[in-house]
Structure 1
Amino acid sequence: MAPFATYIAFIALADVLERVGAHANSLRWLYPVQVGLVLAMLLAWRQHFVELRTAPAARHVWLALAVGALVFVLWLLLDLEWMQLGTPRAFVPAGADGRIDWPLVALRAAGATLVVPLMEELFWRSFLLRWLVQRDFLSLRPARAGLGAITITILLFGSEHKLWLAGMVAGLAYTLLYMRSETLWTPILGHAVTNGLLAVWVVATGSWIYW
């Protein structure tokens, strides 16, 4: 829970700082610190993530790649005003002179593609989905997660994102990948593909609003 809680705490911190008048340019470097701390936690506690020791079958890898790409397409389509929570706030990696800070772009893309999927899938799928069914969650097969736990985690996962409906669709897709393969690497891979393709799209089109 700690890596996920740390990630969310930085989002809240950025919101508070912005409300008290901090300029967006001064807040953009919070993200590298945020992702760096989360990555440090994941590395420090890697021996406890026992599910990561099981590799997915080849057919599940291909399925994860396809599902991740499909979720990316749906993410771009499900962006109507009523599908958004609050006022969208773009992450624009530009300095006061308007020039794009490419090292910051690279850090943002790497964090979104490599760190966030691992951190979120450990929390949402590996932990919460099964913990809602039984407290000894590691002993519960993913395929045995109940409808109630699935619904709760999908709704919460959606509420974590500005595009809440796209988030719910993504949460459902990653949950089904997890339950079908019963290996955590499958939803991690699908999630990474979605975020990776989105990062490419954001940089190529300048659509910073998706970040």
Structure 2
Amino acid sequence: MGDQIDETKQVESLDPSQKLAQRQAARAARGSMLQRLDEWMTQHPWHPRVFPFVVYVALLWASEPARMWAPWAFPVVYILQCVVTAWLLWRYRKLTPELNWKFHWLAIPAGIVGLVGWIWLGDLMARLWFSDAGTDVLAEMGPALGWTTLSLRLLGMALVVPMFEELFFRSALLRSLYEPKPALASAIDLLSDLPVIGGWVGDTRLGKWADQYDRPMQAQFEKVPVGRISWFSLTASCVLWCLLSHHPRDWPGTFVCGFAWGWLVWMTNRGEKKLGIGPVVWAHAITNALLWGYVVSYGDWRFL
């Protein structure tokens, strides 16, 4: 305690020029951290397409403990989730030119198909295996805080989530997983880098086979344009989407959305059409907004 008081007195005793120097040093430190992030983002095409997803999911894990600690903490964490993720998408938008909000009318039926598949198959899965009723936000938080939280969820679901998820799954993964062999080689390389088992994996026949590929997923990503898809990339990206983002109850609906929206990316980037992932961002936004409306209207909190 005495040391803290002494440090406080030392800070207070600094003259204005010393205080200014300290503030400038602090700003320089913050600037250097941001500069390192900027440099890291440019080192690999996956970085600006994956990092927003990672940040959002990491903060999502923090939201439930916050909710259990105090209901008002959940919307605070959710705002932080959305703001930080949106800031990353905006700051590195020049590195992700395919991300846009260009509209195509096919986004409407694709969004409706996603909604119907999500609810119908999710309800079927709930009847068979997963009977969780979800959390009634209004009953748990009360009308004022509950509707505030629901309004924030609508904004996040319809605006932020479609951008970073489509950037990751319908751009990075669909392109990087176009051919199965390079994708398998990349997975083996990843295992080879792990502690304990990495050396053993690298010495196997599969490990030596994977060594013949140089940066396989990055090479595929750079070679495959937006909109070019394969059955393998569609299936593999849907599997990863299920495992990384969704409750097992929602896995069949995830496949419906993944295939419908993969088809939409292909349809809207054929020939001279080069709409990027804008239409699929719209489809995702439509599905999520309609799903929010369904949950609020019918009180089916399983899907929120």
TM range (shorter): 0.7 to 0.9
Please name the residue that 1:161 is paired with. 246
C-alpha distance in 2, partners of 1:175/1:91? Answer: 33
Q: Is the 8 A contact 2:99 2:167 kept in 1?
A: no
Verify: 1:36 aligned to 2:83, yes or no.
Answer: yes
CA deviations over 1:123-173 (Å, ceiling 9, x no partner): 001111111234241441244333222211011213322211111111111
Distance 1:176 1:40, change over 3 A: same
Please name the residue that 1:67 is paired with. 110
**Which contiguous aligned blocks of 4+ residues in structure 1 show a shift greater than 3 angstroms?**
21-29, 52-56, 82-91, 93-96
Q: Shift in Å at residue 91 of structure 1?
A: 6.7
The residue identity in structure 2 corresponding to 1:130 is R
CA deviations over 1:56-114 (Å, ceiling 9, x no partner): 6xxxx111111101211222111222677795643725665x32422322111011001
C-alpha distance in 2, partners of 1:122/1:190? Answer: 13
SS in 1 for 2:143: coil
Q: Is the 8 A contact 1:94 1:100 kept in 2?
A: no
Distance 1:105 1:145, change over 3 A: same
C-alpha distance in 1, partners of 2:129/2:262? Answer: 22
Please name the residue that 1:145 is paired with. 229
Q: Is the 8 A contact 1:132 1:149 kept in 2?
A: yes
Q: Shift in Å at residue 53 of structure 1?
A: 6.0
Q: Shift in Å at residue 11 of structure 1?
A: 2.5
Verify: 1:179 aligned to 2:266, yes or no.
Answer: yes
TM-score computed with the length of structure 2 as normaliser: 0.59
Verify: 1:3 aligned to 2:52, yes or no.
Answer: yes
C-alpha distance in 2, partners of 1:26/1:70? Answer: 34
Whichever of the two has the greater Rg, that structure is 2
Please name the residue that 2:119 is paired with. 76
The residue identity in structure 2 corresponding to 1:117 is P
CA deviations over 1:172-196 (Å, ceiling 9, x no partner): 1111111221231121111111011
Unaligned runs of 5+ in 1: none
Distance 1:144 1:85, change over 3 A: farther
TM-score computed with the length of structure 1 as normaliser: 0.83
SS in 1 for 2:137: coil
- Kindly, what percent of the aligned residue pairs are identical? 30
Distance 1:85 1:140, change over 3 A: farther
Q: Shift in Å at residue 30 of structure 1?
A: 2.1
Verify: 1:191 aligned to 2:284, yes or no.
Answer: yes
Q: Is the 8 A contact 2:159 2:285 kept in 1?
A: yes
Say how many residue pairs are matched. Answer: 204
